[in-house]
């Protein structure tokens, strides 16, 4: 009767006559091996398949059954925000000749041993509440890959377009929040849109991690741990004894740490060449400035003046002009990509207004 779904299913089926014969539970052996009284210790029993849901808010001690596969262990690990100081006691094959009991550091839970159908975990103390809602999306992703024909067909390559689309939809939702904040209006709807779009983007991250887990490469828990560790390493002014004067100093330290971390020969290494052109230019100028090599202001002024002479324009001059505009915008603390997007959207509004009110006339709609 203890954590046995098959028994519950049989007893609930009117077509089956069931005679229940009490027998020694694996729990009796577990308590003996652990040397604890579960009543005195207030141990709660949890099914590994529903760990995030059933253990939500618990801080231990917990005995987790049905920890039979690496993906179950990964889900359990993801559900608890714990550091390397937390450990789990792995109980395998209790009462058999292959019985094994070992203590495993929490970060290595899904990578140091081979789980099987006789594997359970004892967690003496859970250091933080379980991330229930995030774990529910992980479980949903597992089920979609198992039961949905469309999800089963997807690959990293086929999902690429959706990741791009969802990223732009998040940006559009952010623009909506900014516009409402600029107008000092209520922003409940805008934030609701942003919440929804961030969820769609999270699903794309989850999908790629699921595919990687199926290929035996990494899990969403690894993704979360890696970004956590990376951010700790890149914020020595928060987590170590490094002092910084201001935000600019933080940015300089960030670039220096990344350069060493990635083994890069240039601070420009790692900038995706597929970025939108103005964003690419802005990132190059920004990183060069942080490295102590700002753009020469006189040369910048010369390129801008030359670009204003329309009779001299060709592909190279237009490219240099746009590059100079991006550099000048950066020097003034303006995001060139954002500025152009705002101007284009405003121009679109003017065009629609003229299109509606004066459809038969020509008007200067491009600039306000």
**Structure confidence at residue 153 as a pLDDT band (50, 70, 90):** very high
What pLDDT is stored for residue 131 in this prediction?
65
| Threshold 0.85, pTM exceeds | no
Pick from 85, 94, 83: which is nearest to 121 by CA? Answer: 94
Q: pLDDT class for 155, splitting at 50, 70, 90?
A: very high
Inform me whether the pLDDT recorded for 150 exceeds 90: yes
The mean-pLDDT minimum among 4-18, 255-269, 295-309 falls in 255-269
pLDDT of residue 186: 54
Architecture label for domain 5-131: 2-Layer Sandwich (3.30)
Q: Which residue has the higher pLDDT, 303 or 21?
A: 21
- Check pLDDT > 70 for residue 128: no
Mean pLDDT, the chain, whole residue set: 84
| Mean pLDDT within 93-97 | 91
The long-range contacts involving 160-168, CB below 8 angstroms and separated by at least 24 positions, are 162/204, 163/201, 163/204, 163/208, 166/197, 166/200, 166/201, 166/203, 166/204, 167/201
Q: Work out the average pLDDT over 99-103.
A: 93
């Amino acid at each position: 009767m203890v954590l046995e779904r098959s028994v519950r299913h049989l007893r609930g089926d009117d077509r089956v006559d069931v005679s229940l014969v009490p027998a020694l539970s694996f729990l009796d052996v577990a308590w003996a091996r652990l040397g604890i009284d579960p009543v005195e210790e207030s141990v709660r029993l949890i099914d590994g398949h529903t760990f995030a849901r059933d253990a939500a808010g618990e801080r231990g001690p917990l005995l987790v059954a049905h920890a039979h596969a690496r993906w179950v262990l990964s889900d359990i690990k993801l559900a608890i925000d714990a550091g390397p100081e937390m450990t789990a006691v792995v109980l395998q094959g209790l009462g058999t000749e292959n019985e094994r009991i070992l203590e495993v550091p929490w970060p290595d839970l899904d990578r140091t041993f081979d789980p099987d159908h006789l594997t359970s975990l004892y967690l003496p103390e859970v250091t933080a509440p379980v991330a229930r809602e995030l774990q529910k999306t992980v479980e949903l992703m597992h089920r979609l890959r198992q039961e949905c024909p469309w999800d089963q067909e997807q690959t990293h390559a086929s999902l690429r377009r959706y990741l791009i689309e969802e990223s732009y939809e998040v940006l559009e939702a952010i623009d909506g929040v900014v516009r409402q904040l600029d107008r000092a209006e209520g922003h409940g709807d805008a934030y609701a849109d942003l919440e929804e779009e961030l969820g769609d983007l999270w699903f794309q991250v989850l999908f790629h991690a699921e595919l990687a887990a199926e290929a035996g490469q990494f899990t969403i828990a690894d993704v979360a741990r890696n970004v956590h560790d990376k951010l700790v390493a890149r914020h020595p002014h928060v987590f170590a004894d490094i002092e910084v004067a201001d935000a600019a100093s933080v940015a300089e330290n960030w670039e220096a740490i990344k350069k060493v971390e990635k083994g890069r020969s240039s601070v420009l290494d790692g900038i995706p060449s597929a970025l939108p052109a103005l964003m690419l230019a802005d990132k190059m100028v920004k990183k060069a400035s942080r490295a102590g090599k700002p753009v020469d202001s006189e040369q910048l002024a010369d390129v801008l003046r030359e670009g204003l002479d329309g009779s001299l324009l060709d592909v190279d001059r237009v490219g240099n002009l746009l590059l100079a505009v991006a550099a000048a915008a950066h020097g003034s603390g303006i995001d060139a990509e954002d500025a152009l997007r705002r101007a284009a959207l405003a121009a679109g509004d003017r065009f629609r207004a003229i299109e509606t009110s004066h459809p038969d006339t020509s008007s200067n709609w491009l600039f306000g």
